[in-house]
Amino acid sequence: MAASLTGDRIQPGCDLTGRARSAEGFTMLWKRALSVVLLSVAVGIYLLPSPIDPQPYVFKGPPPLLEGPLAVNTRLQNGRRLFTGQLHGPESFTADQEGNVYTGTVDGKLWRIQQETLTLITHMGQDLQECGSSTDYEPVCGRPHGVRLDSGGQLIVADSYFGLFSVDPQTGHKTLLLDSKTGADGVPFAFLNGLEISSQTGTIYFTDSSSRWGRRHVKLEVIETNALGRLLTFDPVSGHVRVLLDGLYMPNGIALSPDESFLLLAETSIGCILRYWLKGPKAGTKEVIMSNMPGYPDNIRLSDRGTFLVGITTTRFRKLMPPFLDLIGPYPAVKRFLAKVVPLSWYNMLLPRYGLVLELGGEGEVVGSLHDPTGTLTWAVSDVFPHQGRLYLGSTDLPFLPVLEDWS
């Protein structure tokens, strides 16, 4: 009986030890399995081809301090929003002698603004209900970027997908001047963007921001930071297209000087502005007149006082951490990894709601700035168009038109 009792007491203890060992073995097996899964995922991501082929890029220095003419202010908040919900991404502007303003939007439409009345002129591509709902439809709906009026009163439009057009602002009739598929020097256009017209010769200057990425993949173009853009001219009389500069980092807005001896050009992805000489002893050469900017420049416009107004699409300020592109710029492997695993829409969370406009002299010196630190009126400014005392402020995606009644 004693032996039996002893055995009965020992047996439960042995059973608990076995269960503990079994649980420990299961835990170790689970950890090994998890490690194998994580390793497999890591290897899979590593082997997954990246959509971009980046090169290292190191910014030449930190962005400037917000002091002097760059000092923070609220001048950009003294305005109002027009056509909320009707104009989605009015990116660039021009005006006729009657005071009508013209712009294009993300749904592929061209508009005329007459005082506070909005009139549709035409669709650059197909007129689909889905146009404007997603960038996936842009290749069929079109996306007008640069918009200018020529000496004959016709709208010249750089559509990011289709090419250069002449559009009758009264009838909406479109004439294709230069097809993106044709391009220049055997290279098709992938992302037509900035536009300017010489009042002296009628020559059309324009930029192709990338030979690889279209506008709907602009974030990949910025992250990749490759020199795949060009500055070009088109002669509307002869139909001849010529490449003035290539190897540019996302060339964007352009503006001619008052005497048309040079033009300024924004290289958006590296926060830089170039001067390209058209006349004089330096004709055909370029030089950097501004770098390490406090943000990434978009369009450049000549003001009525001979200065240049630059819309800043995203600010690049000094903080505890370096700006995002500064941080990842030297590391192509990091860029490849981010392009593989981070959805493009997530990068919007990195964009601050801060409005900024720079006013530059002819040598690239900052003579003034307009700020909206809280995005009260606008942010991500694409164009700054002075007209009849107003400033029309463009954007690539915002669903309204911000205007300043008095910007002086």
For 194-215, how does the pLDDT look when each residue is reduced to its tens digit (9 = 90+)? 999 999 999 999 999 999 999 9
pLDDT band at 45; cut points 50, 70, 90: low
Decide if 362 is inside a domain.
yes
CA distance 270 to 61: 11
Residue 157, pLDDT > 70, answer: yes
CB 115 within 8 A of CB 401: no
φ/ψ region of 271 (left if φ > 0, alpha if ψ in -120 to 50, else beta) reads left
SS3 17: helix
Angle between helices 2-47 and 332-341 (to 10 degrees): 110
Residue 150 has pLDDT above 50, yes or no: yes
DSSP tag of 309? E
Boundaries of domain holding 224: 68-404
Give 81's strand partners. 402
Using alpha carbons, list the distances in angstroms from residue 236 to 150, 154, 177, 202, 242: 10, 12, 7, 8, 12
Whether the predicted pLDDT of 221 surpasses 60: yes
Query: pLDDT tens digits for 11-24?
Result: 445 465 666 666 66
2 inside domain: no
Whether pLDDT at 80 is above 60: yes
Decide if 246 is inside a domain.
yes
Q: Is 201 within the bounds of a domain?
A: yes
What CATH number has the domain bearing residue 400? Answer: 2.120.10.30
Average pLDDT, stretch 186-191?
A: 97
Maximum separation of any 2 CA atoms in the chain, in Å: 119
Q: Which residue do the tokens 């000496």 mark?
A: 151
Whether the Cβ atoms of residue 385 and residue 403 lie closer than 8 Å to each other:
no
On whether residue 42 sits in a domain, the answer given is no
3-state class (DSSP) for residue 246 = strand
Cα→Cα distances 238→203, 207, 269, 315, Å = 10, 19, 33, 41
Q: Which two tokens stand for residue 373?
A: 């630190």
Of 31-45, 82-96, 367-381, the least confident: 31-45
Mean of pLDDT over the chain: 91
- Kindly list the strands in the beta sheet with 366-372, ordered across the sheet, starting from the edge strand earlier in the chain: 295-302, 308-315, 355-360, 366-372
pTM of the model: 0.89
Q: Report how many domains make up the chain.
A: 1
Is the model more confident about 26 or about 401? 401
Residue-wise pLDDT tens digits, 136-145: 999 999 999 9
Residues 258-281 have pLDDT tens digits of 999 999 999 999 999 999 999 999
Residue 168 lies inside a defined structural domain of this protein: yes
Q: Residue 39 falls within a domain, yes or no?
A: no
pLDDT score at 9: 47
**With left for phi above 0 and alpha for psi between -120 and 50, is residue 162 left, alpha or beta?**
alpha
Domain annotation covers residue 59 = no
Q: Which long-range contacts (CB under 8 A, 24 or more apart) does 274-279 make?
A: 274/248, 275/364, 276/231, 276/244, 276/245
Strand 117-123 to 109-114 pairing:
antiparallel
What is residue 112's three-state secondary structure? strand
